[in-house]
Amino acid sequence: MASSSSNTNPSSSSEHISSSNPAGVPLADLSDAHGANAATADHPSAAKPDPTITNNSNTAIPPHHHVAAGGQSTAAAAGSTALAGIKVNLRSALRQYPDFPSPGILFEDIMPIFSQPKLFAQLLEALELQVATSFGSGKDAGIDIVVGLESRGFLFGPTLALRLGAGFVPVRKQGKLPGDCETAGYTKEYGQDFFQMQKGAIQSGQRVLIVDDIIATGGSAAAAGTLVRKLGGQLVGYLFLMELDFLKGRDKLDAPVQTLLSGQEEALNKK
């Protein structure tokens, strides 16, 4: 199994507050005790380096922009600044629900992001910027297919696919897709299930990026990766909105992992 690593590129690894905001949307109110800059047991402070912008091969993700000797390109630096500002806003929109859907689970509710159109737009911008750090911008990323996991991966997967000039293919819970399907069972943070993909949904050798909202134990994502490979896809990476640190789900994945936000350094009942 691959292990996680810290990014050695400080300009893209912290959720610092930027005074300029290239995304053009007001940053969160930092005076709010529940705002993005508040250090809570659930979320690291904004000043703490973000360990999530990493791959799973113990190397920093190389930017695909031209890099001038001794530093980032102007485009890469602008992208890093925009990404950092957006992360602050995304984090402040998340809500936590203890003991949902079962005792001991601290549920991270991402839905408020989607009810605010400017934030929803920023999420897509951040995901595209994050993809660009590894693969290049838009169509240059060379992603053929974005695979989204039912159901929250359907909220932004298709839109991200369009922005990358890629197609979208769903992974669904068992019994929802017609025709011949491949099936993979898995265990997630609060239960067990089966995922399916339609045979023929991916052409042999197509470059596939798997996206979902949250990686917890990594069980769902690992099963999706198994299905993509069964269909002949080339799995180039995973992209999540959020990672629950204490569960170390990325250790189950054998392709590069990128996440916008990290949280829950410890289990709920250990706090």
* Chain residues 66-105 in contact with ligand ADE, contact rule CB under 6 A: 105
Sign of the torsion formed by the C-alpha atoms of 68, 73, 77 and 80? negative
- Farthest CA pair distance, the chain: 54
Contact between 264 and ligand PRP by CB under 6 A: the answer reads: no
Closest to ligand PRP by CB, 9 or 188: 188
Contact between 7 and ligand PRP by CB under 6 A: the answer reads: no
Q: How far is the CB of 216 from ligand PRP (least distance, A)?
A: 3
Contact predicate 2/256, CB 8 Å? no
Contact between 107 and ligand ADE by CB under 6 A: the answer reads: yes
107 binds, among ligand ADE, ligand PRP, none (CB under 5 to 8 A by kind): ligand ADE
- Which of 183, 188, 230, 265 contacts ligand PRP by CB under 6 A? 188
CA 93, distance to chain mean position in Å, is 16
Contact between 245 and ligand PRP by CB under 6 A: the answer reads: no
Question: How far from 134 is each of 34, 63, 118, 229, CA to CA, in Å?
Answer: 32, 6, 25, 21
Contact between 214 and ligand ADE by CB under 6 A: the answer reads: yes
Annotated catalytic, 152?
A: yes
- Which of 108, 128, 150, 245 contacts ligand ADE by CB under 6 A? 108
Closest to ligand PRP by CB, 143 or 242: 242
Contact between 217 and ligand PRP by CB under 6 A: the answer reads: yes
User: What's the token pair of residue 13?
Assistant: 């690894």
- Which of 63, 79, 158, 218 contacts ligand PRP by CB under 6 A? 218
Contact between 239 and ligand PRP by CB under 6 A: the answer reads: no
Could you give the CA distance from residue 23 to residue 115 in angstroms, rounded to a whole number?
Answer: 18
Contact predicate 254/226, CB 8 Å? no
Q: How many residues does the chain have?
A: 271
Burial class (CB in 10 A: 0-12, 13-18, 19+), 24: exposed
Closest by Cα among 109, 152, 110, 97 to 268: 97
* Chain residues 141-170 in contact with ligand PRP, contact rule CB under 6 A: 149-152
Contact predicate 189/212, CB 8 Å? no
- Which of 36, 208, 209, 216 contacts ligand ADE by CB under 6 A? 216
Residues facing residue 194 across a β-bridge: 185
Contact between 212 and ligand ADE by CB under 6 A: the answer reads: no
Contact between 114 and ligand ADE by CB under 6 A: the answer reads: no
> Annotated catalytic sites, by residue?
152, 189
| List of residues contacting ligand ADE (CB under 6 A) | 105-108, 188-189, 214, 216, 244
